[in-house]
Amino acid sequence: MRRFAFTVLLGAMLVLSAGAPSPARTPTGAAAMADTLEVATFAGGCFWCVEEAFDEVEGVAATVSGYTGGDIADPSYRQVSEGGTGHYEAVNVFFDPDVVSYAEVLETFWRNVDPTDGGGQFCDRGDQYRSAIFVRNSPQRALAEASRRELEDTRSFPIVTEILPATTFWPAEEYHQDYYRKNPVRYRFYKFNCGRKARLEEVWGAADH
């Protein structure tokens, strides 16, 4: 299953507070398209890069960049990036569980973050750029905790990535959605200079990050 257009799916993006939609801006008529999809929420530093990583996964229907984990309603990018709101830059990943499982989605998440860094991710520093898994129910929590334990048992480095309950997810401004597609040159320049690929290869080994 390939990506649905962002403007079509956003109405079903579960601008969620653990199951309840928030009053954020959303078009109508998209909910039925997401009936068969599940949603996973991850923070992994710059949400542009997290979107790109998950968009490449077969079975992922859509990704939406946004903010979650804080106390301010409908925050702006400027507010979050300046710090102090409690929000993380995060991504809602909408996936077809008949094609890709939550466990497999978790594997993609881990391989695209530095789980040893508690101060941000790569060149992006601050609490708003920390890595985290936001779980929506008991099955997600069980799988997330099992995946973290497996890494702790098989890797020689400490895992500081947190597993947190999902709270309201506020979609980011439209220009952030699919940024890597809309601005490929600027995006590649940012990603290279941020050292993301190099650090991921240090942590996980050579891969196409």
Catalytic residues: 46
Distance, CA of 147 to chain centre:
17
Distance, CA of 144 to CA of 166 (rounded, Å): 13
CB atoms within 10 A of CB 116: 14
Using an 8 Å Cβ cutoff, are 41 and 92 in contact? yes
Strand partners, 81: none
- Give the dihedral sign, CA 139/18/167/45: positive
Distance, CA of 115 to CA of 57 (rounded, Å): 20
